[in-house]
Each structure stands twice: as structure tokens, then as C-alpha cells.
Amino acid sequence: MIRRTSDAYGNVEALHKLVLIDFGSIQSIDFGICAELPIYRIPVTSLGYIPPEQFIGQTQPNSDIYALGMIAIQALTGLEPLQLKTDPHTKEIFWRFENTPVNDYLAAVLSQMIRYNYQDRFQSASEVLRVLKQMVWETQPSQILEADFQFPLEVAKNPTSGNSSPLLTGMKVGLAANSLVMGFGVYSLVNTAPAYSETDTLYKATKEYQAGDLEEAIALVKSISSHSNVYPEAQAKIEEWQEQWQVAAQQYQIAETAFADSKWSDVLDAAAKVPKISYWQSKTDKLVQQASVNIEAQTQYLLAKAYESAEIRDFSTALQYLRQIPKESHAGALVQNKLAEYNRKRQIRAAYFLQKAYKKASIGDFNRAVKFLRNIPSDTLVYAQAQVKLNEYTQKQRLLPDNQKVAFARRTNSFVPKNLATKVEYLQGENSLQEVNIR
């Protein structure tokens, strides 16, 4: 919209009037029954002025009233349409603030022009114009009515006028009656129009609720009249806010307890369950920030311990350290890679122990074979097979004569139990036995 400075046709009345421009950006679109307005075809400058129904291809005769109302609101608030907040439930726009220079009557008119549902708006421009013209009667209706009623009497008392014409008197009485009707019409509009003052009250209550004053928020909501259009929603808010507040308080307490116990992951888990209430989220954010720092420090420590265990091929211990790293850590990708790497190496090492056990058993060294088998972790692929061989080799180890056990131990430099070493006798010649102590 621009204000013209001149008129090409010399029309004095057309000077300095506001006019619409920028029609060159409008594109012709053939809307079908199910057509939708492609967002990429909408000029950026038009977003925010387009009513909801137009986006789904259901443009109405009063859709332009929505756009005009948004322009007027932008002029009053200094904010572009996309900067205004919207009620998440009713989809109505919050635009009237404490410092907005507008009276209740005009605010009601503008708000009705931009209702989300086109059926709740004014249905025509003439209807809007008629209501706007009635605004003059809102300012001083009593004075206007009094002047209208007194005017015919003053004319009658004027000696120079003679008797008042019945037609003139009827016109004046008609004007007075019309003024009276219009005055009541204004009262009716302000009081039966959608409760935008109550909407503002609900908006203020929401702000108090988000700021942490639940009692004040509920008090504001309860002040909304039961005759208001927003009364059912307001009552639902009370119950919803009380429930969410209780959940937020409980989850914050859990997060606080977990923080004291150094359970950093539990802190983050509890914080994620806090409802979207600015007051409670700001409190939990402090715990979350410190918990996140501690998680990263814990991650670095556990990674270092895992690396140390992997260096000595103790992959089972390395995996235990890695599994203790919180999933919220920024090293998540690295941890997953190391888990896969160490698990693969542990499987290879388990298979290696099994093969070593086979070799030792093949030469009768069941003692060493059993030791290899016992080093195979329970969650490896060869564990079941290792257990079968462990039972087998243990039985064979028990069935060997004591002299064969000791002789094999001496030959392989293996450890010999004391109870066996003191009882074994070696043949020292024909028909003679000698007890030998093996060290």
C-alpha cells in the first residue's frame, strides 16, 4: 500500500489516498476441488496475509477481508504477520498487546476480520464498512442521542421558524431513533463479538504459567466469564496446566536426585520428560548442561580404559568399559565402531584358544588344553563347542595314571600339584619302586 501524491485525471478527491500496488506478483491459479496452493508459487511478501482456506484451494469471497485485517494489524503493532503468535488450539492470532494503540471496539472488528475460520469472519466488505461507521456512536453515544432528541424541540421553540413541518419532525425523530438503534447495535457488537478481551486474558494467563506463576495463571483464567466463547477452552487449560505442572515438578525432582547420585544419563532422561513449561525447562536446563559436561568427561575416561585393555588383548574387559559409556555421549559413533572392532577381535581370539586346546589335547596335554578352553568367553560363537571339549578333556585328564601326568609335566615343564608329586613312584629298575619328590 502506498499513498498517492497526484492524480493523473485531475481528480482532487483522489489526491493523497492510499492505494494497493504490486499486482504484478499475483499469479493465476486454477483451483480444483482438491487443489492446494503450492507454497513455491506464493510471493514471499504475501505469506502471512493469505488466509488458511486459500492454502487448501477453498478461497472464499471474504478471504480478502482477512488480508486487509492483517495489514491494519501490522499498521497498529509494527509487526509483520509472520511475527505474531498463534494459539496452538484455536489457531487464532494473538496481536493485541498492552501497548497497542487501539480501543476495544476496533480491536473486536479487526479480530473478527482475521478469524481462522472464514465462517466466523465478516462475510462482506459492506458489512465491515457498516460496522466501522458505527464506531462514531461508541465514543459518546449518550451525547449524540441527547442532541438528536433535543433538536426537534429546539426547532419547535424557535419563533421565527413557525410550526415545524411534520416531514421535518419525522426526519428528526427518525434520525434519533436510528441513532438509538445504532447505539444499541454498537453495544451488541462489542458484547456479542468473539471475546477478544478474554482471549487476551487467556494469553496473559499462559504467559504467567510459562513464567512459573501457576496460581496467578489459574486466577486469570477463572476471571473469564462463563458467557465467553473462550470459557470452555479456559476451563480445560486449568486442568491441563495442573497436570503438566505436577509432571514437571516430579521429573525435575527425579533429575535433581539423579544429578546428586552422579547418574548423568538419568538426568537427561528425566529432563526430556519435563513438559514444555519455560519455568521448569529453564531449571532442568542447568542440570542438563552440567550432566552433559560430566558425561563427556566420563566418556574420555572409559575410552582410555578400553584402549588400555585392548592393548593387552583383553577385549572382554575393553568391551565392558565401552558399554558403560552413556548413549548421550558425543562419542557415540566412535564407541559403536570400537564395540564392533573389539567384539570381532574377541571372536577371533576365542577361536584361536579353541584351536590351541585341540593341539594340546592331541599330544595328551589336557591340562593346558583345559586352560585354553576356560579362557573362552561365554558370549562367543565357539563357547558351546568349547564347553563340550572342556568336559571331554577334563574327564581324560582325570583318567590318566599319576605317573603319566608327572612324566608329561616334567617333559613339558608344566606345574605338578604337590599332592601328586609326593605320591608318585617311578620304577628304578626291575622289581623296585622309589618314592620321588618333584619340585
d(CA 119, CA 121): 6
pLDDT level of residue 208 (50, 70, 90 thresholds): very high
Q: Is the Cα torsion angle 395, 401, 402, 403 positive or negative in sign? A: negative
- What's the rounded mean pLDDT across residues 86-94? 84
State pLDDT tens for residues 139-170.
444 443 333 333 333 333 344 444 444 433 44
pLDDT average, residue stretch 19-24 = 68
Q: Please say whether the beta carbons of 302 and 321 come within 8 A.
A: yes
Q: Which of 103-112, 234-243, 251-260 has the lowest mean pLDDT?
A: 103-112
For 356-363, what is the mean pLDDT? 91
Which one-letter amino acid corresponds to residue 155?
V
Question: 43-52, 54-63, 247-256 — which is least confidently predicted?
Answer: 43-52
Exposure string for 38-60, b = 16+ CB within 10 A, e = fewer: eeeebeeeeebbbbebbeeebbe
8 Å CB contact between 185 and 134: yes
* For helices 166-192 and 104-113, angle between their N-to-C axes, nearest 10 degrees: 70
The pLDDT of residue 160: 40
Mean pLDDT across the stretch 273-294? 92
Give dist(CA 299, CA 246) in Å, integer: 34
Predicted confidence at residue 358, as pLDDT, reads: 93
Residue 347's pLDDT is 92
Q: Where are the domains of the chain?
A: 198-296, 346-399, 401-439
Residue 395: CB atoms within 10 Å: 10
Which has the higher per-residue pLDDT, 176 or 36?
A: 36
Residue 234 sits at the vertex; the CA angle it makes with 229 and 240, to the nearest 5 degrees, is: 150
Rounded to whole angstroms, the Cα distance separating 296 from 124 reads 63
Residue 10, sorted as left (phi over 0), alpha (psi -120 to 50) or beta, turns out to be: left
pLDDT exceeds 60 at position 296: yes
C-beta separation of 109 from 128 below 8 A: yes
Cα separation, 259 vs 294, whole angstroms: 10
Q: Strand pairing of 18-19 and 2-3? A: antiparallel
Q: The whole model's pTM is what?
A: 0.42
For position 219, what pLDDT does the model report? Answer: 92
Separation CA 387–CA 394 (nearest Å) = 10
Q: Which residue has the higher pLDDT, 433 or 9?
A: 9
Helix residue ranges per DSSP H, 312-416 = 315-323, 332-362, 366-374, 383-399, 402-411
Distance of CA 356 to CAs 94, 350, 375, 394, Å?
78, 10, 11, 16
Cα 52 from Cα 81, distance rounded (Å)? 13
Which long-range CB contacts under 8 A does 246-249 form with residues at least 24 apart?
247/273, 247/274, 247/275, 248/274, 248/275, 248/277, 248/280, 249/280
Pairing mode, if any, of strands 2-3 and 93-94?
unpaired
pLDDT in the model for residue 104: 76
